Amino acid sequence: MFETETYRIPHFAIVALLYDDYSGIQDDDEAFVDNLHQWLDDQHGEGQWHIGDVSEPYHGRADFERILGDICNVNIEVRI
């Protein structure tokens, strides 16, 4: 059984989170993705979450580090 949490995540981080593919992102952005992944593990348990639906990108402010730019609403499915 899963519970869904929705976060606003920068668009650049989606591919790295989904596929562990960091090609085309800057070093600072790579560090952001690593920190976000660690935060999700700490919050929900390592291996206990996965990415569900992802919205189309839109301009806004991310939930993490308040990054302004293209973001997506990302459903994180958490095993309960």
pLDDT digits (tens, 9 = 90+) for 10-30: 999 999 999 999 998 998 899
Number of folded domains in the chain? Answer: 1
Please state the φ and ψ torsions of residue 25, each to the nearest 5 degrees: -115, 150
Residues spanned by the domain of 25: 2-79
DSSP 16-80: HHHH---TT--HHHHHHHHHHHHHHHHHH-TTSEEEEEEPPPEEEE-SSTT-EEEEEEEEEEEE-
Q: Would you state the pLDDT for residue 17? A: 92
- Predicted TM-score (pTM) of the model is 0.90
For residue 41, pLDDT beyond 90: yes
pLDDT band of 80, cuts 50, 70, 90? confident
Mean pLDDT computed over every residue of the chain:
95
Torsion (CA) 18, 20, 25, 29 in degrees, nearest 10: 80
The residue that leads in pLDDT, 58 or 27, is 58
